Amino acid sequence: MTRIAIVKKRECNPAGCGGYLCAKVCPVNRKGEDCIKPSPINQKAQIDEALCIGCGICPNRCPFQAIDIINLPEELQKEPIHRYGQNGFALYSLPTPMFGKVVGVLGVNGIGKSTAIKIVAGVLKPNLGRTDGSEAGYDELISFFKGTEAQNFFEKVRDGKITTSYKPQTVDSIPKQFSGTVKELLSKADQKGMLDKVVELLELEKIVNSDIKSISGGELQRVAIAATVLKKANLYIFDEPTSYLDIKQRIKVSKFIRGLADAETAVLVIEHDMIILDYITDLVHIMYGKEGGFGVVSMPKTTRMGINIFLDGYLKEENMRFRDYPIKFAAKPPVQKAGKDVQCGWSGVQKKLGNFSLSADKGEVYKNDVIGLVGENGIGKTSFVKILADVTKPDAGKIDGKVTVSYKPQYLEGGDDLVMTALGDALDKYDAQIIRPLNIKPLLMKKLNELSGGELQRVAIALCLSRKADLYLLDEPSAYLDVEQRIRVSKIIADVMEHKGTSALVVDHDLIFIDYLSKKLLVFEGEPAVHGSVAGPFDMQEGMNKFLTGLEITMRREEEILRPRINKPGSQKDREQRSANKLYYA
């Protein structure tokens, strides 16, 4: 098969297009054959891929952009491992768990990473591309993967030698499925009798008696990871284990997950934070394809090579260019480049909020600045910005310059409005600068509460940046976005600030994103929920040095692509950088 036709069932609206417009314009239909006809199941358009000649007329004429005709790479001659029905998404190949190793999966959103991992976890039975509803048996899968690592894996699955424990991507649904305390939930999962140890390792002691419905996103994530590892298994799968976690927690959780892999245990991880993926995995599979159309899993690569290949956009062995531009990093920390005019400033700020106290010495934000805010969760980042915006009055100290703030919160809520209605004027005004680069157009006719996490994030960023304000605060804009989207968002933020002559403060825990986006850093230190102090803004070198000191890690730039990497503790680079007190890039 060299071509697949995708019909997006939600978008296809035969009554709205005047009655199967696609079939009317299809040259094959016009010759009297049934290339496009109504599906007997749901009356949506159904395309016969064997008859389609790939003329490209129907995708252009469908008023709802419901059709995609995809010419598959020539190298991809195999049948898919799974297809979501006729004219549905197709997945090619699978990632392979390996005993004693942590294997990662790296790719953009919408190309089947979660589907692939669900098949490996045994949650979804693959159909080898058959659309008659029949599932593939293990013997079929074994012969499908003959001669590869996956063959061995599925032989073990068939022989009942694999027990899987799986942490799904979204943890937000746990409180809807379970009532009770954290301890009650973990006790149910605890087949190993290690509840107390895991609670201690993941620092859950303070919330162990809390109701599961009352804990934060980051706490929920750690509870979900704890429940996963408390189950007896020899394959542990983690789908995005670091969402909602701050960098300190990310590193802790990474070490914990790494420690699970041994001669009898395999670990598989999907993760968009490349620093963490780099830190946690031995090998990675790259996934590429077309969002909503198809996804292909590459052969495994060593992590360093795999991430570099992903950033480069070209798989040499497979002779496959999957992005037409490479993602590049700068050789030096970004040079301080801001406007001359001060946007706002502060001095001697003190604020008590319940049991939490915040202090901020002295600092200024210039017009055109993009400042990264780094620090643990619960250390006063949002409270500080509220003080700058005059939403909260400080108990002591002074704020210079009155600023209006446009705010994108960390947790997003979708209402009943259409995306088109929510964005209003911004659609025309910022078409080239925000709407197109964030690929908002395909979402316009959807309601906010129908969007996925990543889609809602893109809309929320567009909304925040398109409002009129002096200061833009974006709280965790990278959450649910893939690596390419994160890089794109950082460019959009810089571009909008430059264009408007305004400034942005960006709270995020993905250090590659912060490194890519920020001109300066504000560093928050202290003890979460007890006290926080704000220092800076610093230039990147100084700010990161201060921040990394608190985290007890050092970072270097990878030699080829210059992307930031965490040094192995105690390695030569780590020791050299520590003695030179240059924790961020030697």
Per CB under 6 A, residues contacting ligand SF4 are 7, 12-14, 17, 20-22, 26-28, 35-36, 45, 47, 52-58, 62, 64, 66-67, 69
Report the alpha-carbon distance of residue 317 to residue 314 in Å, rounded: 9
Q: How far is the CB of 288 from ligand SF4 (least distance, A)?
A: 23
Cβ(401)–Cβ(343) below 8 Å: yes
Rank residues 9 and 125 by Cβ distance to ligand SF4 and give the closer one.
9
Is the separation of the CB atoms in 284 and 292 below 8 Å? Answer: no
Provide the Cα torsion 103, 237, 171, 485; round to 10°: 20
Cβ distance to ligand SF4 smaller for residue 20 or 585 = 20
Asked whether the beta carbons of 38 and 46 are under 8 A apart, the reply is yes
CB 35 within 8 A of CB 47: yes
Count Cβ atoms within 10 A of the Cβ of residue 50 and give its class: 0-12 exposed, 13-18 middle, 19 or more buried: exposed
Q: Shortest approach of ligand SF4 to residue 290 CB, angstroms? A: 15
CB atoms within 10 A of CB 205: 10
Report the chain's C-alpha Rg in angstroms: 25
26: nearest Cα among 1, 5, 42: 5
Is 53 or 330 the residue whose CB approaches ligand SF4 more closely? Answer: 53
Tell me how far, at minimum, the Cβ of 61 lies from ligand SF4, in Å. 6
Minimum Å distance from CB 48 to ligand SF4?
A: 8
Cβ at position 152, least distance to ligand SF4 in Å: 40
Shortest reach from residue 420's CB to ligand SF4, in Å: 18
User: Tokens 């509803």 — which residue?
Assistant: 133
Q: What is the DSSP letter of 134?
A: P
Choice between 50 and 335, CB closer to ligand SF4: 50
| Smallest distance, ligand SF4 to C-beta of residue 432, A | 27
Q: Which is nearer to ligand SF4, 446 or 556 (CB)?
A: 446
Q: In this complex, which beta carbon is closest to ligand SF4, that of residue 87 or of residue 298?
A: 87
**By C-beta, is 51 or 562 nearer to ligand SF4?**
51
Gap between the Cα atoms of 586 and 583, Å rounded: 7
For residue 6, what are the β-bridge partners?
68
CA–CA separation, 41 vs 61, rounded Å?
Answer: 23
Distance of closest approach, residue 49 Cβ to ligand SF4, in angstroms: 8
Nearer to ligand SF4, 63 or 100 (CB): 63
Torsion sign (Cα): 544, 546, 548, 550: negative
Cα-based distances in Å from 465 to 412, 420, 504, 556: 15, 16, 9, 32
Give me the residue label for tokens 């509870």: 223
Question: Cβ closer to ligand SF4: 24 or 578?
Answer: 24
Q: Least distance to ligand SF4 from the beta carbon of 54, Å?
A: 5
Please report how close the Cβ of residue 446 comes to ligand SF4 at its closest, in angstroms: 16
**Could you tell me where the DSSP H helices lie in 324-469?**
381-388, 419-423, 426-429, 453-466
Q: How many whole angstroms separate alpha carbon 536 and alpha carbon 238?
A: 36
Q: Looking at residue 500, what DSSP letter applies?
A: H
C-alpha–C-alpha distance, residues 277 and 113, integer Å: 15
Judged by beta carbon, residue 13 or residue 170, the one nearer ligand SF4 is: 13
